[in-house]
Amino acid sequence: MQIYLPIAEVSVNAFLLLGLGGLVGILSGMFGVGGGFLMTPLLFFIGIPPAVAVATEANQIVASSFSGVLAHLRRKTVDLKMGTVLLVGGLAGAALGVQLFAALREMGQVDLLVKLCYVVFLGIIGGLMFFESLKAIRRAKGAQTAPARKKHGLVHALPLKMKFRTSGLYISVIPPLIVGVFVGILAAIMGVGGGFIMVPAMIYLLGMPTKVVVGTSLFQIIFVTGFTTLMHATTNYTVDMALAVLLLVGGVVGAQIGTRIGARLQAEQLRILLSIMVLAVCFKLALDLLIMPSELYSIGTGGGH
Amino acid sequence: MIRALILLLALCLPSVAQAQKVVADLSQRNVEITANFDGSDILIYGAIKGGPEDADFGPLDVIIAIKGPNDAVTVRKKSRRFGIWVNTDAVKVARAPSFYAVASTGPLDEVLSTQEDIRFQVSMERAIYAVGDAEHDAEGTRAFTDALIRLRSKNNLYQQLDGSIRLFDQALFSTTIDLPANLVEGVYPMRIFLTRDGQVVSRLATFIDVRKVGLERWIYDLAHEKPLIYGILSLIIAISAGWLASAVFRYIRF
């Protein structure tokens, strides 16, 4: 069934979009990522103009992460306090990132820089996570002596300590704020929600339990993408309501299913699956950069460079 | 005296004095884009009125050009830099039609001379207007506009339909132009040229009105006229859909 999208001004298959939304929703509910990194290239591929794809997807992510957060709230796996701290940092970071992006664009070569950073970054995160989870799984299978180690590193030495009850942490607010700012910057530059950078950062840098991480990540994604949607709607008029509705019907259902799948998995299994996904995205991006494209030219809108 | 002169002139230049005229009509002048819009076929038919039937004159040809609203685009080119493929070069195209179809009775470069093409800007290359800049000469810019034509032709947005017009007995003609589903709203000017030996003998201009109607119209207008309300409405839809899914799943206890 073909549907003409009023803002994107293209005709697309409605069932394809429903399926796409559902798939991304499942990942979202399972791993606490927005899914923009997957949705953007898919929407480009079916012919949605890039500006509309990015803006509309933000709207779709609001829906699927809200659906996911409600499911996590019932399981009490959302650290609202930590989420708020990360969000404050994230918004500051996003504002900074927008400025940085404009400055980079002035210098040219922003495309090259962003893509290289992305690949390197995803490669490191995905690789580290993969080996860590693999080790954790082996350890669990081998001796049952899983040592309950409490590290007292830099995170514990900083001032402004705060109790994060749901995560079972008593740490300074400075590291979560810094993580938030950093992810916010990256999100603004790369045009993604930053979920799959946020999730590993919460697990490894802040030491939060994997189960709590997913819901908390979704919680802060709602606000970031909600804000993005409003910004795009009022400045660029690029949010396509018809496209968003088609995507989010699949997305909200997918998020519920994803949450249930996630709840049945062990923390190590969840981490290893996430790392495989991150590595797959990294690998795909790297291939795009290394293999000669079949079409060298592309059309962008607007007169700007 | 003057009358005699005019008569003489008329005898010398029959093609001017007894100019043939082209008349035409379309199967539809208004294309309405609804939610399930899936493209539209436009039938264009017409006749050639008057003029000599002499064998001395070359055969007549008909050219029909339909153009969508212009916009500015940037065409980018990838090349290898430090071993990886990135966009390294770009040309701004100041004016490129969002849709362009040119149909003719024969190969366009045969039925229309280069001078006439320059004058009326009929061929696809001339409908696109790109300004050269410091880094690109005419030749360099050409590669980018060619790429633009190639990419949009793939999506059926640019169509060169040589030989698609049927001309009966040098008097009646008809053709069908397929407007694709990914049309942009606006006025689509249509021009019909009657040519002989590459020279334009007669021409006719009309237009097709493409517009969104119903829900499409409402969403588009709201998005542009009340963007804040539109944005908030989008968020409300998203939040309520998220809540609804959660409530339904709790109810069915999946």
| Interface predicted TM-score of the whole assembly (ipTM), two decimals | 0.80
B77–A66 CB contact, under 8 Å: no
Encode pLDDT of A40-53 as tens digits.
Answer: 778 877 888 877 88
Q: Residues of B numbered 88-127 whose beta carbons fall under 8 angstroms of chain A's beta carbons: which are they?
A: 90, 92, 94
Cross-chain Cβ contact A297/B182 below 8 Å: no
Could you tell me if B169 and B155 are in contact, meaning their C-beta atoms sit under 8 angstroms apart? no
A244 to chain B: which residues are within 8 Å by CB? 234, 237-238
Chain A: residue whose CA lies nearest to B143:
A297
Of B80, B148, B219, the CB nearest to A299: B148
**Rounded-to-integer distance, Cα B224 and Cα A225, Å:** 21
Sign of CA dihedral A22, A43, A14, B227: positive
Q: Do A252 and B78 touch (CB under 8 A)?
A: no
| Res. B134: pLDDT tops 80 | no
pLDDT band, very low/low/confident/very high, at B132 (cuts 50, 70, 90): low
Spatial separation of the C-alpha atoms in residues A234 and A273, rounded to whole Å: 38
* pTM of the full structure: 0.77
Determine how many CB atoms are found less than 10 A away from the CB of residue A294. 5
B199-217 residue pLDDT tens: 998 999 999 999 999 888 9
DSSP states of A108-146: S-HHHHHHHHHHHHHHHHHHHHHHHHHHHHHHHHS-S--
Three-state DSSP at B248 gives helix
**Chain A contacts in chain B segment 232-251 (CB below 8 A):** 232-235, 237-239, 241-246, 249-250
Question: Between the CA of residue A253 and those of A29, A74, A258, A263, B98, what are the distances in Å?
Answer: 10, 16, 9, 16, 37
Q: Half-sphere exposure (CA, 13 Å, Cβ side) for A29?
A: 34
Q: Which residues of B touch A9 (CB under 8 A)?
A: 182-185
| pLDDT at residue A287, rounded to an integer | 85
Chain B CB contacts of A60 below 8 Å: 238
- B16 has a pLDDT exceeding 50: no
Residues A62-68 have a mean pLDDT of 89
Each residue of B140-185: pLDDT tens digit? 788 888 899 999 998 889 999 999 999 988 889 999 999 998 888 8
Residues of B with CB below 8 A from A299's CB?
A: 73-76, 148, 151-152
Q: Do A226 and B235 touch (CB under 8 A)?
A: yes
What number of C-beta contacts closer than 8 Å exist between A and B? 201
